[in-house]
Amino acid sequence: MSSTMRRKSLRRVPGPRPEPAASDVPAVSLGRLTKADFRADEYLKETLRSVETTNIRQFRKGLEDARKGASKNLQKNVYRNYESFVFISKEISSM
């Protein structure tokens, strides 16, 4: 078999990549993310030490989903507390 033929037979066939197994993707630890002494660089080094590129992308998606959830939660809390804020502000201004 010639070297050219060998190279052709080793080429990847284009197509969708299989999703990584859930056990291969590191879990996003919300408990660690919310600690007062959280250090992002240390967290990422520990979490992604021996993880493949595909799984890092899945982990990043998990982080983005967590960020979106936190943003929605914050927005709900602001709207929920807005009415109380307006009421208290009026009370203070009438003193």
pLDDT averaged per 10 residues, the chain (length 95): 49 50 74 88 88 87 92 90 89 88
* Confidence at residue 16, expressed as pLDDT on a 0 to 100 scale: 52
Give the up-direction half-sphere exposure of residue 73: CA atoms within 13 A in the CB hemisphere.
6
* Confidence at residue 20, expressed as pLDDT on a 0 to 100 scale: 47
* Confidence at residue 72, expressed as pLDDT on a 0 to 100 scale: 94
* Confidence at residue 73, expressed as pLDDT on a 0 to 100 scale: 92
pTM: 0.55
CA dihedral sign, ordered 30, 32, 35, 40 = negative
* Confidence at residue 61, expressed as pLDDT on a 0 to 100 scale: 92
